[in-house]
Amino acid sequence: MRILITGRRSDARSAMRFFLGSKLASDDVVAEAADLGTLLTQAEATHPDVILLDRDLCDQPLEQLIPTLQLLEPRPVVFLVNIRPESQPFAKAAGVDAIVLTGDPPKSLLIAIESVRLEREGN
């Protein structure tokens, strides 16, 4: 499982990397990105299975960014993280695969990542 973590704040990315590293295989997190340019570069270089896209990173409308990410090979599953519940319909309409709401328990993220792993292993 290859995971790319995004977010403007390095402390938040580090905390996410530490959390995921303590619950998943230590080499599952393959890259981090603090801006959109780095996200695209890292995604092309590391071929992640999952992109944890922090909503604060999105300088452009999701309707433009998500299709760009979906063109990557192999196609990553895009989780939009740290959004408010009222933004959920807009994120889904933009093509986001999964949503992690602000305040969701960390276990929900792990369950969602594990479901991607199981699906990819089944194919």
Each residue of 15-49: pLDDT tens digit? 999 999 898 887 899 999 999 999 999 999 999 99
Q: State the Cα–Cα distance between residues 82 and 86, nearest whole angstrom.
A: 12
Each residue of 11-43: b (16+ CB within 10 Å) or e? ebbeebbeebeeebeeebbbbbbbebeebeebb
Q: What is the pTM of this model?
A: 0.91
Place of tokens 């990397």: 17
Terminal-to-terminal C-alpha distance of the chain? 14
49-78 confidence digits (pLDDT tens): 999 998 887 767 788 889 999 999 999 999
- In this structure, is the dihedral angle defined by the CA atoms of residues 8, 14, 15 and 20, taken in order, positive or negative? positive
